[in-house]
Structure 1
Amino acid sequence: MATAADATPPNYRQAKAVKEFDESKMGVKGLSDSGITSIPEFFVHPPHALSDLKLTSKTAGSLPVIDLAGLESADCRRTTINQVKEAAKTWGFFQVVNHGVPVAILDDTIRAVRAFHDEPRDVKAKYYKREEGRGVMYASNNDLYRAEAASWHDSLQAWMGPEPLPPEELPEVCRHQVEAWDGHARGVAEKVMELLSEGLGLERGRFKELTFSESRVFVGHCYPYCPEPDRTMGITPHTDPGIVTVLLQNRIKGLQVKHGGEWVEVSPVHGGLIINVGDFLQIVSNGEYKSVQHRVVANSEKEPRISIVMFFNLSKWRGSGHYGPLPELLSPERPAIYRDFTAQQFLDNFYSKGLDSKSFIEKIQIQN
């Protein structure tokens, strides 16, 4: 005999479970630490989304590793510019070494972010909210209410610029390290942006002049142990919306990049940083640089995977309030392949949906 519970629509039950999980403020880390042996249903992804989880390529090669030492030498700089340009065109991702940040600082930053995620629930709960765009926010899945299924990660986010974030707003356990990392990551990003700018034939400081490093968001992801990693994702396939992303991670694998139609597993290089091209850079470069899909598989290791991301975007728009391909990159032989758009259109697209691939780029592409 059917019960009232049986008559409740599944999507209603799922929405109720999502809301209860969100309001508990326990996060995925809390679920994992509780010793569960199966994941809640709203974390289970449909079969089509999981069908290629095991299909990482053995033939597509590995992420380019680029040495940033010796940029003061004209010959070395030219070589590095060409390497960065090629990687940004063909992979959309590359690792950099000898970037100027001591390994001890990288390790300390990772330890501090893990220390936050290891804090008791009531300590972390003070930062738990869903108001994005300013201040500090701790939450599980920033698209929890927009996505088809939740993913197995929690995040600490802090909007570091263009308006400086008062240090006291950051959690005490990682305050000093997050503040310091903001400066270090910005330094690396600006160094890489110079090379990317020169790779397009522009002046070295053109991207900085366009404020491409002023609007910055720090995100400290934690991917705890998942008891059923084959039924969910760490983060679903997506592209990053901004200019460039600087990524620092611990030794636990999980990041995969789409290359040549196949998923390639990224092996972390100790002391290295991963750089990737965002949608905005693909657009302003008029398609010269590529923003590519990437994802994180659910963590089957007992140790949590820690991933620290700095997203960089411009903070000042052109006087017209629009942006698109840089005019100096356009010619009759190479016309614009994307139409101009406003900041509001860009932000509305990102915050109105779950993480996905390149829908905004597809929306503004000019059809021939």
Structure 2
Amino acid sequence: MNAATLPIISLKSLDSDEGLAQLRYAASEVGFFYLVDHGISSAAQHQYLALSRAFFQLSAEQKQAVDMIHSPHFRGYNAIGNEMTAGRLDAREQFDWMNEERALSAEQLKFPWQKLIGPNLWPSAMPTLKPALTTLQSKLSDITVNLLQKLCESLGAGRNALDHTIGAQPYTHAKLIRYPAQQSVQQGVGAHKDPGYLTLVMQDAQSGLKVERGNEWIDVAPIPGAFVVNIGELLELASNGYLKATNHKVQSPMDGNERYSIAFFMAAQLSATVPVLSLPPELKSRAHGPSVDPRNPLLTDVGNNVLKGRLRSHTHVTRKHYCDEPLRHLLAKSFAHMPTADICDECHA
């Protein structure tokens, strides 16, 4: 087993005060931790990662049939070089899916983030993918809701303090990811923070994930059976900066190796506004407000916080589906405090 480079939290331990204290430390001081005893076995994880490999082994034509360019909701397949992070192209291939929903008509759109709502794209060449991934999505959703409630409890804010922002089910977004081997060091995915509440990452045995701590980047060594968990921007906002959304990145593998992972992002409903939790005086005195980055302002309205990341990351989808006049007006209104060209240069050519 590889040595742990982050705190290890057992989900089963979180019924005790000691376990909650360990969770609070990991979430506030590091922003990342390993999660064990979560109920999804190593064998099951191997099966999901094998399914991911099988998807990426489909022909280019079969994958392009579900290319994200066909989805205004940012679902489907992305070939290498079709996603951008921190202004640079990522060297990874991926497949994205989210909550399965009915799209709104153009007349029903009152906010630009409502265009994120819609169906997923599923490859007809691989009929086993949809049932397997929707089952995984449901299991990971349950784990993250439980973990979010435990985090609220650890902060003294009450277990159900954020339940009203989730409703019947949270907004979820997941990815199958393949990082092909490179001849030299490259950006698998650039340094970034995640926009939601919590992220779970299922890794294979190939390392590459790195977390920023102080002025250093530390390797997050894969531990069999453990998920890597990180705190998202919405929890940093909700805790007034007490919890930390931490920069992380993936360095492309070399020496003929590939890296496969499955990332799961859980957030509040897109229509929600994230409240600031009422913390006990001791914790409140250590909450100095969320981080401020003019290039990436944190927005308490969840839909816009999610949408700004998608528009920047997948500019080819933005150009095709978000540059018509009605949506340009909604984007300009929703992101009035940001340079609109930062969302889509083509809209202001």
Provide TM-score, normalisation by structure 1.
0.69
Equivalent residue, structure 2, for 1:217: 173
Aligned equivalents of 1:340, 1:323: Cα separation in 2: 9
- SS of residue in 2 equivalent to 1:130: helix
CA deviation vs aligned residue, 1:235-279 (integer Å, no higher than 9, x gap): 111111111001101000000000122100011110111110011
Equivalent residue, structure 2, for 1:196: 151
Q: Given that residues 96 and 176 in structure 2 are in contact (C-alpha distance below 8 angstroms), is that contact kept between their aligned partners in structure 1? A: yes
Deviation at 1:345, TM superposition (A): 4.1
Q: Are residues 1:169 and 2:122 paired?
A: yes
Q: Are residues 1:239 and 2:193 paired?
A: yes
What letter corresponds to residue 342 of structure 1 in structure 2?
Answer: D
**Which of these residues, 272, 276, 279, is aligned with residue 325 of structure 1?**
276
Q: Given that residues 136 and 169 in structure 1 are in contact (C-alpha distance below 8 angstroms), is that contact kept between their aligned partners in structure 2? A: no
| Cα 1:158–1:191 shift into 2, 3 Å | same
Equivalent residue, structure 2, for 1:291: 245
Q: Percent identity?
A: 21
- SS of residue in 1 equivalent to 2:182: coil
1:261-340 correspondence runs (5 A): 261-315=215-269, 317=271, 322-326=273-277, 328-329=278-279, 337=289
Q: Are residues 1:94 and 2:18 paired?
A: no
Instruction: Name which one, 1 or 2, has greater alpha-carbon Rg.
Output: 1
Aligned equivalents of 1:111, 1:337: Cα separation in 2: 42
- SS of residue in 2 equivalent to 1:311: strand
| Cα 1:223–1:250 shift into 2, 3 Å | same
Q: Given that residues 96 and 174 in structure 2 are in contact (C-alpha distance below 8 angstroms), is that contact kept between their aligned partners in structure 1? A: yes
Q: Are residues 1:63 and 2:1 paired?
A: no
1:66-215 correspondence runs (5 A): 66-72=9-15, 77-130=16-69, 134=73, 136-140=75-79, 144=83, 148-160=87-99, 169=122, 171-211=126-166, 214-215=170-171
Count of residue pairs the alignment pairs up: 286
- SS of residue in 2 equivalent to 1:210: helix
Q: Given that residues 75 and 121 in structure 2 are in contact (C-alpha distance below 8 angstroms), is that contact kept between their aligned partners in structure 1? A: no
Deviation at 1:125, TM superposition (A): 1.2
Aligned equivalents of 2:288, 2:218: Cα separation in 1: 31
CA deviation vs aligned residue, 1:276-295 (integer Å, no higher than 9, x gap): 00111100111110001001
Aligned equivalents of 1:123, 1:88: Cα separation in 2: 41
What letter corresponds to residue 136 of structure 2 in structure 1?
Answer: W
What letter corresponds to residue 289 of structure 1 in structure 2?
Answer: L
CA deviation vs aligned residue, 1:206-248 (integer Å, no higher than 9, x gap): 33332085100111110011122x2x21111111111100110
- SS of residue in 2 equivalent to 1:290: coil
Give the unaligned 5+ runs of structure 2: 103-116, 291-297, 315-336, 339-349
Aligned equivalents of 2:28, 2:133: Cα separation in 1: 31
Name the stretch that deviates more: 134-143 or 172-181: 134-143
Aligned equivalents of 1:239, 1:135: Cα separation in 2: 19
Q: Given that residues 161 and 214 in structure 1 are in contact (C-alpha distance below 8 angstroms), is that contact kept between their aligned partners in structure 2? A: no
What letter corresponds to residue 53 of structure 2 in structure 1?
Answer: R
Over aligned residues, Cα RMSD in angstroms? 3.1
| Cα 1:208–1:132 shift into 2, 3 Å | farther
Deviation at 1:95, TM superposition (A): 0.4
Deviation at 1:120, TM superposition (A): 1.2
Give the unaligned 5+ runs of structure 1: 1-60, 356-362
- SS of residue in 1 equivalent to 2:88: coil
Q: Given that residues 10 and 35 in structure 2 are in contact (C-alpha distance below 8 angstroms), is that contact kept between their aligned partners in structure 1? A: yes
Aligned equivalents of 1:121, 1:268: Cα separation in 2: 30
Equivalent residue, structure 2, for 1:227: 183
What letter corresponds to residue 313 of structure 1 in structure 2?
Answer: A
Aligned equivalents of 1:100, 1:159: Cα separation in 2: 22
